[in-house]
Chains A and B, each alone.
Chain A
Amino acid sequence: MSGNSSTFRPASYREASARTLRDTPEVRDSVGSATRTFDALRTKAYAEVDSDRWRDWAQDVKAHALTHLDEYLEQAEQSLVANGAHVHWASSADDVHRLLEAIVVEHEVRTVVKAKSMLSEELEVNAHLDTLGVRSVETDLGEYIIQLLGEPPSHIVGPAIHRSLEDCRALFHEELGTPMDADPDELAAAARAALRGDFLAADLGISGGNFVAADTGTIALIENEGNIRLTTSVPRIHVALVGIEKIVPRFEDLAGFLQLTARAATGQPIGLFVSLIQGPRRADEVDGPEEVHVVFVDNGRTALYEDDTAWEALRCVRCGACLNICPVYRQTGGHAYGWTYSGPIGAIIAPGLLGLDRALPLPHASSLCGACVDVCPVRIPIPELLVHWRERTVEEGRNSVGERLAMRSYAELAERPSAFSTAGEALRWTPWRAVGKALPVLSGWMQEREAPTPSPKSFRDLWREGIE
């Protein structure tokens, strides 16, 4: 299981989501408009191709890779080593921290440039580098914004989508001295200028990895700004942190995944910059890092893999399409979820990566509307996995005693029709407005809505009386 020390707090999801809605209603506006835009772009981009066939293909490649994962990991390792890269394996965040520490000490690293990596967020790498006295600079514009704000990302693709242009103006005015009415181009130019210096000064670049092709040992990275290409090209050393599930068998498979991921994430035909990295700079090359380290990270992934239902979540390519279409995510953005991965995908991998006890109540943070499964590029049956974790919650006795008793009596009643209708009758005559607030289930309902008015007569009675 994950060994991270961790500031992650999914347990406070209800309070955090309520707080977001109450105290920062503008977050709902920003997140709502950004996600609806992303989703509309995805819809259009899916329609331009035979997206069903693409998704079937991608699902099968990933399923194939996962059912041969040990072989492909070993093959990827061999390929990378043959290319001159160093390959490391890490079971936990602590393992990764130790490894980075060794590299930082050996090479006297002072500044690290970082290319947006959700795995690095999951491993809380920046905080650890900080304790080593190493300055780490997020270079993706969205990540840069939230790093300056001291916030975690609120979306796996657009980390700052909860922030408005006004927020950025104020922030950049404070941090970079841009005018309060600067337009987005001026703001971006200021960030570019500040970060250019960091790129040139940094000794180490840390990236994630979207895919690893086992046969060529290629780390594939998708982006739009060019900062990932810079992070992996300019500093002397490059460390790529890669989840063990990121493997695809063949170099040519990248053709499908690079395109499908971009279409699912932002509706683009491909990310504007794609890096295909085999290893360190070669003799016939004028630049590029002298050392490349690839770290295969577990941190709870094998726990997911061992679960006969939830392992399907490992097909995820982190496109964020399920977040963009999720009506629950759209209300609050990602911070309420209390850890790195939010929305539907966050809710189904949290129990594997953090352990079910720490992940609750995230599997319940869904109305099971099913919109996510319709857009997922690798067809992960997200609602089924949510129900799976809810079942595990019940099996392990982690839900409330009240709920268990209530469900059991309800099922017993449902097997006895006359008792069931008597109970229904009683239910209809209950003065909800008066007592609802005192009942656990109904208080939740009544807090936000008016109590429903029961029919004057049940249908059963109408039927007995005869329907004209």
Chain B
Amino acid sequence: MSAREQILASIRAARERRAQVDHPGRFGAWRPEPAPSPLHGFETMFTQAGGEVVHVSSSAQRDTWLREFLSGFDELSLGVGVPAEVAGLGPTPVPHGSEHTAPAGVAVARAAVAETGSLMMDARDGRRAQLLPPILVVLVDATTVHATLADALGAVRADLPAAIGLHSGPSKSADIGQVMVKGVHGPGRVIAVVAQAGLGAYRHASERPSERE
């Protein structure tokens, strides 16, 4: 018997003796306090974990902030989904495959989650660009912020890439003598640039919570 058959056969034999348990249904995120607005919730949770949030309410404001921030670096890595007009605001982008040489990067979140303060990073934006630069700016469309993680997963499940990353703050570790350090492997600084409604429809507009209701 193959390992597969062996494993399945012994499960089937023992399963007979187990009382079946029903699936309890969708996870309800049960909490004593009602959740604040998704955007506010995201900001609270993300900053608590050490992330930074910048709000921009016009494309001019966004561009000014990016131009200013990115001027401090000589090279940049870019996520595939970064719009051309934004890509042009910073220094020369490195080619894909060389993201590790860039001191900073810009990537795009497919969605965000208030409950956990997470940015949902889609592999189609480029995984290296999301992970290798020590400082990462992530463009977030305010209308893609979901209240709960279950909502967010439900919204994306029909169109899953090879991998999704949920990034909920800068990389951290307390493995060295229980002292917290930042930026161990992933970015040590993560800045979510949240664009107000109507401005930054970077991707996947159909999954916006507002449009599904």
Contact = CB atoms under 8 A, between A and B. Distances in A.
Indicate if A touches B (C-beta under 8 A). Answer: yes
Interface of A: 30, 33-34, 37, 48-50, 53-54, 56-57, 60-61, 63-64, 66-70, 73-74, 83, 89-91, 95, 139-142, 145, 158-161, 163-168, 184-185, 187-189, 191-192, 195-196, 200, 216, 218, 224-227, 229-230, 232-234, 244, 249-256, 258-259, 268-282, 284-288, 292, 296, 298, 302, 305-306, 308, 311
Given A232-B163, A272-B49, A286-B96, A60 B21 contact: yes
B8 interface: yes
Given A67-B15, A285-B123, A287-B123, 20 more contacts: A57-B27, A57-B28, A70-B15, A91-B3, A159-B175, A160-B176, A184-B179, A188-B173, A188-B176, A216-B160, A226-B187, A229-B165, A252-B27, A252-B154, A253-B27, A272-B171, A273-B168, A276-B165, A279-B162, A281-B123
B153 A160 contact: no
Interface in B95-128: 96-97, 100, 115-118, 123-124, 126-128
A245 to B, nearest CB: 10
Contacts of A68: 15, 20
B24 A274 contact: no
Contacts of A192: 183-185
Contact of B20 (A67, A165, A167, A258): A67
Given A269-B115, A269-B168, A54 B30 contact: yes
Given A49-B30, A226-B184, A286-B80, A70 B173 contact: no
B20 to A, nearest CB: 5
A302 B49 CA distance: 39
A160 B182 CA distance: 18
B186 A230 contact: yes
Nearest to B1: A91
B185 A63 contact: no
Contacts of A160: 175-176
B148 interface: yes
A141 B173 contact: yes
A269 B186 contact: no
B113 to A, nearest CB: 8
A276 B177 contact: no
Contacts of A37: 178
A165 B175 contact: no
B97 A141 contact: no
Contact of B153 (A33, A184, A189, A255): A255
B166 A274 contact: yes
Contacts of B169: 272
Contacts of A276: 160, 163-166
Contacts of B160: 216, 218, 276, 278
A158 B124 CA distance: 32
B184 A191 contact: yes
Given A53-B30, A60-B23, A164-B177, A287 B150 contact: no
A226 B185 contact: yes
Given A91-B6, A225-B171, A259 B96 contact: no
B18 interface: yes
Contacts of A232: 163
A163 B177 CA distance: 6
B162 A285 contact: yes
Contacts of B29: 49, 255, 259
B115 to A, nearest CB: 7
A251 B153 contact: yes
Interface of B: 2-4, 6-8, 10-15, 17-24, 26-32, 45, 49, 80, 96-97, 100, 115-118, 123-124, 126-128, 130-132, 148-150, 152-154, 157, 160-187
Contacts, number: 274
Contact of B177 (A67, A168, A270): A168
B23 A61 contact: yes
A74 B181 CA distance: 42
A270 B149 contact: yes
A269 B29 CA distance: 11
Contact of A298 (B3, B19, B21, B118): B3
Contacts of A288: 123, 127, 162-163
Contact of B161 (A89, A254, A270, A282): A282
A139 B131 CA distance: 14
Q: Which 4 A-B pairs have the closest CB atoms?
A: A226-B186, A165-B177, A256-B27, A142-B175
A225 B177 contact: no
Nearest to A168: B176
Contacts of A159: 175
A230 to B, nearest CB: 6
Contacts of B162: 83, 277-282, 285, 288, 292
A273 B171 contact: yes
B21 A64 contact: yes
Nearest to B97: A287
A287 B126 contact: yes
Given A229-B131, A252-B26, A288-B162, A244 B157 contact: no
Contacts of A188: 173, 176, 181, 183-184
B79 to A, nearest CB: 9
A306 B14 contact: yes
Contact of A230 (B45, B150, B185): B185
B40 to A, nearest CB: 15
A274 B27 CA distance: 18
A254 B153 contact: yes
B150 A252 contact: yes
B165 A274 contact: yes
A134 to B, nearest CB: 21
A70 B169 CA distance: 37
Contacts of B10: 302, 305-306
B185 A225 contact: yes
Given A226-B186, A270-B116, A287 B128 contact: yes
Contact of A70 (B12, B24, B126): B12
16 contacts: A91-B6, A145-B175, A158-B175, A160-B175, A225-B186, A226-B171, A234-B128, A244-B7, A251-B157, A259-B149, A275-B164, A281-B123, A282-B124, A302-B10, A302-B11, A306-B14
